[in-house]
Every structure is written in structure tokens, then in C-alpha cells.
């Protein structure tokens, strides 16, 4: 089977970085067409070079990087340096990147790329706020039906929020963009906190990453050791959840995940529930089902999948 063509829209972020490496480590199954950067975990002037740093670490400077939105559609930017550090990739001392970014605006490039390729041949994987995706859909609404699917990390229902009592960070940062994406008609798969909180990093797995002895493995042991210190303190667990890579894992091995078709709406009214993903789990409304909400995953098998991809990286 030919590799599936994907675009990763991202705001790296240590867990975004793992997702990117998982894709790069499986060229047999994934063709990464490009990275589009958005403001989120840290501002855009950091997420763009973070994309370049990761590609240079993996020796894949052939993959283009595009800068996108520097702020949400309608609200001020909220960032997460308290989780990811001041650079977004604290935990490893990267050299400054030397690869240039591409000049196209990220949403424009997404539209151009998807619309110029055969229908249903590109999957979009957003790992951060959905600003770039919403802008691309606004420019070309046919994008929704042209994509094979959108597999995104964001939202929460049963687990509650991680930035407010009700909202997950990616959706909270730009709920207006998220509302537009969920209303677009695209085939959407959601890896929310309900699923990703089941994917806990273990000490043995982190030791195995370092034990690879590769430059990527050693760097990521540092990145993830820094990253999980926040979540282990917050949740009282032995290891922090690894959110964003679950999107790529779902693309590669959907049989490791379970979920159901539901309606998802996003609360955009200011107040305590701002940014909440309202999930009609039991079809108690007549709203159309617009997303597959992932509810479970085989955590050991997913982490084996990620480790196997890391073995293939330099």
C-alpha cells in the first residue's frame, strides 16, 4: 500500500515533536508533505523555528515548513510556557536552525496542496489550535470534502479540561476556529483528553528511548523528561500523558483505538464554559453527528508503535 499523504499543523511542543517524529519514522506508511506552524503552546516566532529544529534533528530538511496564524481569530493568544518551557521545546539545547521557511502563508499552502491533489488523498493532522485550519476552510470551503479526513488533538468531555475546568487547551485558545472546523462537514476524528489521558509515559519507555543511543533518542529523553514534570505533579501520576502523537498513531493503526460517532459543538460564549467541547455522547439532541470521538486506546501497543518509529530515526 502506498504511503498516506499528510500535513501536520502544529505548535511544537514536546508532544507535537513526538508526533512529528512518529510520522518521520514511518516513511513506509506516511508521506509528510509539510509542516504548517500556528501560534499556540508558544507564539508563532517560536513555533516556526521549532518545526525547523525538529526536521534538522531528524535529517529531513527536504520537508517544507510554512508560517501560519500568529493569533486566534477573535480572542487574544493564550500560551503554555508553564508546560512546555519558554522555547516550547525546553529539555534539549537545539542549535539555531539554518533551513529557511517557505514564503507561502500556511493556510494558503494547505488549500493549494489539498485542492491540487486527487480527492480524498490528503489527511490533515492539527496538533494545536485550529486557526490555520479554519482560515484554510474559509478560503476554500470545498477543502472539507476534498480531504480524506482531519485527525485532530483537542477537546475534552468525561475528563474535563486542562486549562479551565471545562476546556482543553487547543480548543480554548481558539474556540471560534474550532467551531468552524466542526461545522465544516469534514470527516473528523478527535483525540481528546478522554483518550490521551490513557497514554501515560512510563519510566521504562523513556529509558528505552534514551537507550537507542541515537541523536533523536537522546534529545527526546531530555525533552520528555522536562515535559512530563508538569503533568506528573498536576495529575499525581508516574508519567505524563502523551497527547499529540495519538493522532499519527490513529492514522497508522486505527485498530488500536475505539470511539463513536457523535455531535460536537464548541462553546464560544464568554464564561466558565468558554472553549468547552460539548459532546452529545448519547444522541439526546437532533444535531448531526459530525465527528468520531475516540474513547479508548491500547496504550502499550501505541507506545510500542512510537518506539519502533524512533528506532528508524538517526
Active-site positions read 243
Contact indicator for 247, 4 with CB cutoff of 8 Å: no
The HSE-up count of residue 213 (CA atoms within 13 Å, CB side) is 0
Output the CA–CA distances (angstroms, integers) from residue 240 to 66, 89, 274, in the order listed: 30, 16, 25
H/E segment holding residue 16: helix 14-24
Q: Report the alpha-carbon angle 165-167-169, nearest 5.
A: 120
Give the three cell numbers for residue 113.
496542496
Output the CA–CA distances (angstroms, integers) from residue 72 to 46, 53, 170, 173, in the order listed: 16, 24, 11, 7
Cβ contacts of 307 within 8 Å, gap of 6 or more: 205, 208, 209
The residues that bridge with 122 in the sheet, in sequence order, are 5
Contact indicator for 291, 250 with CB cutoff of 8 Å: no
Output the CA–CA distances (angstroms, integers) from residue 267 to 25, 144, 171, 178, 296, in the order listed: 37, 21, 10, 10, 24
Contact indicator for 68, 132 with CB cutoff of 8 Å: yes
Other CB atoms within a 10 A radius of the CB of residue 45 amount to 11
- For residue 290, whether the previous peptide bond is cis, meaning omega lies within 30 degrees of 0, is no
At 19, is the secondary structure helix, strand, or coil?
A: helix
Amino acid at each position: 500500500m502506498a504511503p498516506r499523504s499528510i500535513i501536520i499543523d502544529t505548535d511544537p511542543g514536546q508532544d507535537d515533536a513526538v508526533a512529528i517524529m512518529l510520522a518521520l519514522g514511518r516513511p513506509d506508511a506516511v508521506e509528510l508533505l509539510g509542516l504548517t506552524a500556528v501560534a499556540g503552546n508558544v507564539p508563532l516566532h517560536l513555533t516556526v523555528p521549532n518545526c525547523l529544529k525538529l526536521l534538522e534533528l531528524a535529517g529531513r530538511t527536504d520537508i517544507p515548513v510554512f508560517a501560519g496564524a500568529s493569533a486566534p481569530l477573535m480572542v487574544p493568544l493564550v500560551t503554555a510556557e508553564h508546560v512546555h518551557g519558554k522555547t516550547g521545546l525546553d529539555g534539549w539545547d537545539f542549535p539555531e536552525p539554518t533551513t529557511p521557511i517557505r514564503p507561502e502563508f500556511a493556510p494558503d499552502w494547505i488549500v493549494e496542496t489539498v485542492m491540487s491533489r486527487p480527492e480524498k488523498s490528503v489527511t490533515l493532522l492539527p496538533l494545536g489550535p485550529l486557526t490555520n485550519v479554519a482560515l484554510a476552510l474559509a478560503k476554500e470551503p470545498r477543502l472539507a470534502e476534498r480531504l480524506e479526513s482531519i485527525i485532530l488533538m483537542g477537546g475534552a468531555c468525561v475528563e474535563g479540561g486542562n486549562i479551565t475546568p471545562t476546556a482543553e487547551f487547543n480548543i480554548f485558545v481558539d474556540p471560534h476556529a474550532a467551531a468552524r472546523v466542526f461545522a465544516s462537514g469534514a470527516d473528523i476524528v478527535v483525540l481528546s483528553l478522554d483518550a490521551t489521558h490513557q497514554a501515560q509515559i512510563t519510566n521504562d519507555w523513556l529509558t528505552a528511548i534514551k537507550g537507542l543511543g541515537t541523536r533523536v533518542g537522546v534529545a527526546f529523553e531530555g525533552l520528555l523528561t522536562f515535559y512530563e514534570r508538569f503533568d506528573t505533579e498536576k495529575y499525581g501520576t508516574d508519567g505524563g500523558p502523551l497527547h499529540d502523537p495519538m493522532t499519527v498513531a490513529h492514522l497508522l493503526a486505527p485498530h488500536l483505538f475505539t470511539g463513536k460517532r457523535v455531535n460536537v459543538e464548541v462553546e464560544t460564549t464568554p464564561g466558565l464554559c468558554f472553549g468547552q467541547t460539548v459532546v452529545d455522547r448519547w444522541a439526546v439532541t437532533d444535531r448531526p453527528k459530525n465527528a468520531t470521538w475516540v474513547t479508548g486506546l491500547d496504550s502499550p501497543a501505541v507506545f510500542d508503535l512510537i518506539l519502533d518509529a524512533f528506532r528508524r530515526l538517526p
